[in-house]
Structure 1
Amino acid sequence: MSDSDSPLGGLDVSADGADFARELSLFDIIVIGIGAMIGGSIFVLTGLAAGESGPALILAFALNGFITIFTGMVYAELGSAFPEPGGGYLWVREALGRSQAFISGWMSWFAHAVAGSLYILSFGSFVTLILTEFFQAPTFGLSLVDLQKLFAVAAAAVFTYINYRGAKETSRAENVVTILQLFILGVFIVAGLWTIAGQSNTTVRFEPFFPNGVGGVFLAMGLTFIAFEGYEIIVQSGREVVNPRENIPKAVFYSMFIVVTIYILVGIVLLGAVDVTPALLETARQTDSIGGSTIADLPANPALWQVLGHLGEFGLAQAAGQLLPYGTLVILLTGILSALAALNATTFSSSRVGYALGNDRVFPDPFSRIHPDHQTPHISVLLSGTLIAVMAVSLPLAQVAAATDLMFLLLFLQVNYSMIRLRREYGDVLEYGYISPFFPYIPIVGILTKLFLAVYFFNYSPLAWYIAIGWILVGFGVFFAYSRGRIRRTEIRRETRVVSEERRPTERPYQVLVPIANPESARPLVELASAIARRNDGEVLLTSVVTIPVQTPLEDGLQFVSDEPQMLEEAMQYAPDDVPIHRTVTLGRGVGRSITNIAYQRDSELILLGWRGRRRQSSEFVLGSTIDTVVENPPCDLAVAKLTAAREPRQILVPITRSSHAAFAAEIATSFAQYWDANVTLLHVSEPDSNNFETTMATLRETVSDEEVAVSTASVAGTDVTDAILSYAGEKEVDTIVLGAAREGILRRVLFGDIPERVGEAFDGRVVMVKKHSPLRSVFRQWVRKWLGRRIEK
């Protein structure tokens, strides 16, 4: 199976035909992953993490490596099956839908950019310390903080330009920087192990192992988790890797093994070979770190882990002065290289996420443009680099960096769950380079461990949760205000195409959309629609959907059109002269989805569907595939009519409750009564001895107050509402019943509800079931069901 044939569809090349250059080897992407995972984190976060966990820092690193392997296997599998830029965003998009995918991409884009800001600030901090402390360089009147941010912005500009030039230039820079930092870290580890080997009381240095309890280990794990997400960056390079199905899984596992080993060895050396000297203690008392130590004041005789925590991002560098000649300077220089390597990797990854969002039309189109010469998403690179620089100089980075950890954890939750959905839905048709074992237990363990760390992380930084929630809420705002409309318009162009249209000169703002599939149902549907349109000073749009096979392009679908235009033309005669009526023939892949697309595209206020009056006896559909699809994904108000032989309504019954759906049913019934000069009865069915009749009736009378319509009220008592409605309708010779939908379930699948559907089946006359559209509730229900319920329609 080719990439283009994958169920996810991949990503398109740019409009001018430019595509990514496939130049990265296995070695290149291993180095990219290592550079991101070692990065500035081992220098910036190791001291802070030691201050939380004490000697158990070693265990925290080991446990992080262990739990991240579960998500690493998920990334290796999906990255080999879908080697595309965008990574987790693409997988979540298919498995959980566009809204969740947008939030995953939104979090990923922000998280990588904030991580980049952390790296450039650590770069600026290290450079400033070297210049002022070791070389007494002048500051030209700038404060140390301003100087640090100046160097940070300069680094962001340089590496944005490197990423702008091309992936090969990016990997070359990454290779040089990462190899140098691995060499220096290797020297540091060897020197530390040599020192430990010459000691006689090494075990004493690790006692007590849990000075802050097991909770300190969890906090250190959450704080340093950002160091173990480099495999996410590896899969972002999918379209630029040679032989991605084989090389991406290898790069994920090789880089993780190397990085976890290095972190554990650094932890052993840092806590086992360093002494608390007067010079180190004095430095700790004078240091003002950007990391923000949680230790307010050092005790009189602090332990080494307390000193390291107070030193913050300078902890590893200051400790190295005891193990190597010019060790502090060497580690600071290495920290600079590491920060640049991590910056390079995060700029690369952030820009690819931005490209995927732009290409999928949820971000503005410039994000998806590929440079014709450099073959990079150059606009996305520039905007991501700008975001990195702006956040570095304007935000409280220590807390935002903590929020980055949290957002990566939340992103990995989505990806692990998406893997389960994708394996079950597409597992038999995908071409994998690697398949994780013990399905579905591997992603389930990944979900549980990431969820635990995310929740526990609140103990370290409540503000990180607030920042993350705030950014996610902003993302939802952007999605509903901008991206959702672009997504829908894009889907409509891909799924639906108008091939025949006739419009009357008169157009009105209120529109009733009426799909016609059977000539026999045309007259009653057009008359009902005309009644509603007339009362609302509106118009009627008739449509007939011609379904096209999946393998046939929509532009070639005209061959499947036959009698539909003639059928619609004949149906138009049933509308009165004072109601404008238009018609259109539409090509689509599925009838239900095409109907909702037309309603969205034409901004219809109401969809009116015909129903044959029988519920399906299957778990897949309730009223039918077309009706179910429209009811569960409505872009506007909805009415479903059980049609009878053409006869005018005379007695209309409206069973009522205190809900928006019942009020809407009363409005629709009033439209019919005014159109046919019929009577309306509002029926309240109550439990025996109930006394809420007057309150409910007063509410409904306000809705249907109309001097031209005769409205009466009635109340009956009964334990079975359906039987009570049918019994009253039979006694009073009712010919039409209009019912509002029952309350909608969040997890339970509800169309109109059991009572309206049972009445619709059992009543011999006309039944119209209506539902008032609630956009926020509909979106929330769809969002929850994507996570907890089965998918109804593909």
Structure 2
Amino acid sequence: MSAASSQARPQLRRALGLHSAVALGVGGTIGGGIFVLVGHSAAQAGPAALLAFALAFLASLLIALPYAELACRYPEAGGGYAFVRKVLGPGWGFLMGWIFWGAYLMVSGYVTLGFGGYLQVLTGWPAQWSAMGLVALCALINLANVRLSGLVQVLVMSLAVAGLLAFSLLGMPAVDLARFTPAMPHGLAGLFSAAVLAFLAFGGFDMVAAAGEEIERPERNLPLAILLTLAVVLFVYLMVVFVALGTLGWQALGASDAPLAAAAQQFRGPAGGRALAGVAVLTTAATANAVLVVASRISFAMARDGLLPAVLARIHPATGIPRTAVLTSAAILLLVAGFDSLPLTTAIGGFLYVAHFVPPLIVLMKLRRAGGPAPAFQMPWPKLLLPLALGGSLLLLMSSGWLGLAGGLGWMALGWVLRRSAA
């Protein structure tokens, strides 16, 4: 055996079949977002929110395929941040991590405020205070190193899927097609603005791509798993949006802080509204906890790599938790919840979430030009799909509206200033 082979990089065992990969993707994609974003998408696009979700599906698919190839080329922990930093250098790595961190911090706003809106249906408590209380509770859970077990997470997400399917099936007979006119009250600008929000609801599809090294026959199963994941999620979302629009109407749906509970109450009475609100409360709470975990680990990883202050990389000796990173992210999450503005958090969060996929696309373009050994999976038709993915991402960014553009670019500018001052 040669020295090179004896020191070969360890390979993960390929143990995930097609069904397991699809289950991973669907479970990671359907979360608390849809319970909130359906209302804001309706406010932006009217009945054309259905088309906005279809456009978000296409954008997700175009981005997921190159992301899957990158995951097979660089299967190490850290995902997009890791391979952007490795290929383009620490400057681009900082930008990628900073955008990603900002996206999760802002996304937390619509998740926690959505939790507050649905909890208000059950208790009457003010949504803003409930949102801030949830952030504090999630911070305590993380600091105490109490983790939601995999079984609990699976049960919560299974409850979410079951609740959404029940909502769709029970509400279908009550749909009034007259509520779908006018189809596009705010024109193309409203449609594409809603597509940015709908794209957030597909967040999580990259879990399948990131697991590419563990999927059997990746050249076949990886693209199939991505396509099937997004198709299943799209089917569920289209049913939910169709029923919500057809039973409540786009104006009332867009004005509600608990849109699906309001729609359920329309065709199942107060008990139906409360049942749906209960499902939404559990799902958004679990999603908020996951958001804090991810946000704190992004800042921890960047600090460990010397891209953020070293204090964020400190690990508590007793718990093994990056306490400063958790507290910092939780403090920012509290501020975001305190603004009590879903339009603000969805616009800026949508811009940053889309933007964080742009550097990986640039990475793959560079790697494709450089050649080298082929990974286990290569995206089909790269000369067509890579420009489409980049162009689609830029179109979504431009559709974020002045609030998303100003807030997103402002966050990037703040990162640039901090980076320059630390240099």
Structure 2-normalised TM-score? 0.84
**Structure 1: gaps spanning 5 or more residues:** 10-20, 133-138, 197-201, 276-303, 486-794
Pairing of 1:551-700 with structure 2 (within 5 A): none
How many residues are matched?
414
Structure 2 match to 1:69: 61
- How many Å separate the matches in 1 of 2:222 and 2:309? 29
Structure 1 match to 2:382: 439
Tell me the alpha carbon deviations over residues 475-511 of structure 1, each in whole angstroms, 9 at most, x when there is no partner. Answer: 01121222xx4xxxxxxxxxxxxxxxxxxxxxxxxxx
Tell me the alpha carbon deviations over residues 417-456 of structure 1, each in whole angstroms, 9 at most, x when there is no partner. Answer: 221112333x533543x22100132221111011112112
Structure 1 counterpart of 2:138, from 132, 147, 156: 156
Structure 2 counterpart of 1:337, from 282, 290, 295: 282
From the superposition, tell whether residues 381 and 175 of structure 1 become closer, same or farther in structure 2 (CA, over 3 Å).
farther
Structure 2 match to 1:569: none
- How many Å separate the matches in 1 of 2:252 and 2:322? 44
Cα offset, 1:395, TM superposition: 6.8
Calculate percent identity across the aligned residue pairs.
Answer: 28
Structure 1 match to 2:106: 114
Structure 2 counterpart of 1:131, from 110, 123, 126: 123
Cα offset, 1:62, TM superposition: 0.9
SS at match of 1:323: helix
Structure 2 match to 1:451: 394
- How many Å separate the matches in 2 of 1:395 and 1:81? 41
Larger radius of gyration: 1
Structure 2 counterpart of 1:50, from 27, 42, 45: 42
Structure 2 match to 1:185: 164
Report which structure shows greater RCO (CA 8 Å, sep ≥6): 2
- How many Å separate the matches in 2 of 1:158 and 1:189? 36
From the superposition, tell whether residues 356 and 422 of structure 1 become closer, same or farther in structure 2 (CA, over 3 Å).
farther
Cα offset, 1:152, TM superposition: 2.5
Structure 1 match to 2:363: 418
Q: What code does the residue aligned with 2:43 have?
A: G
From the superposition, tell whether residues 153 and 87 of structure 1 become closer, same or farther in structure 2 (CA, over 3 Å).
same
Matched, 1:208 2:182: yes
- How many Å separate the matches in 2 of 1:334 and 1:217? 28
Structure 1 counterpart of 2:414, from 463, 466, 474: 474
Cα offset, 1:406, TM superposition: 0.5
Does structure 2 retain, via aligned residues, the 8 Å contact 1:128–1:147? Answer: no
From the superposition, tell whether residues 235 and 76 of structure 1 become closer, same or farther in structure 2 (CA, over 3 Å).
closer
Q: What code does the residue aligned with 2:334 have?
A: A
Tell me the alpha carbon deviations over residues 719-747 of structure 1, each in whole angstroms, 9 at most, x when there is no partner. Answer: xxxxxxxxxxxxxxxxxxxxxxxxxxxxx
Does structure 2 retain, via aligned residues, the 8 Å contact 1:44–1:122? Answer: yes
Does structure 1 retain, via aligned residues, the 8 Å contact 2:244–2:253? Answer: no
Cα offset, 1:386, TM superposition: 4.2
Cα offset, 1:156, TM superposition: 2.5
Higher helix share: 2
Give the superposed CA RMSD.
3.6
Cα offset, 1:108, TM superposition: 0.2
Pairing of 1:699-718 with structure 2 (within 5 A): none
Structure 1 match to 2:75: 83
Does structure 1 retain, via aligned residues, the 8 Å contact 2:139–2:326? Answer: no
Does structure 1 retain, via aligned residues, the 8 Å contact 2:336–2:345? Answer: no
Q: What code does the residue aligned with 2:413 have?
A: L
From the superposition, tell whether residues 85 and 249 of structure 1 become closer, same or farther in structure 2 (CA, over 3 Å).
farther
Matched, 1:264 2:238: yes
- How many Å separate the matches in 2 of 1:352 and 1:440? 35
From the superposition, tell whether residues 80 and 389 of structure 1 become closer, same or farther in structure 2 (CA, over 3 Å).
farther
Does structure 2 retain, via aligned residues, the 8 Å contact 1:80–1:245? Answer: no
Q: What code does the residue aligned with 2:365 have?
A: I
Cα offset, 1:243, TM superposition: 6.0
Does structure 2 retain, via aligned residues, the 8 Å contact 1:33–1:252? Answer: yes
Structure 1-normalised TM-score? 0.47
- How many Å separate the matches in 2 of 1:334 and 1:154? 21
From the superposition, tell whether residues 261 and 207 of structure 1 become closer, same or farther in structure 2 (CA, over 3 Å).
same
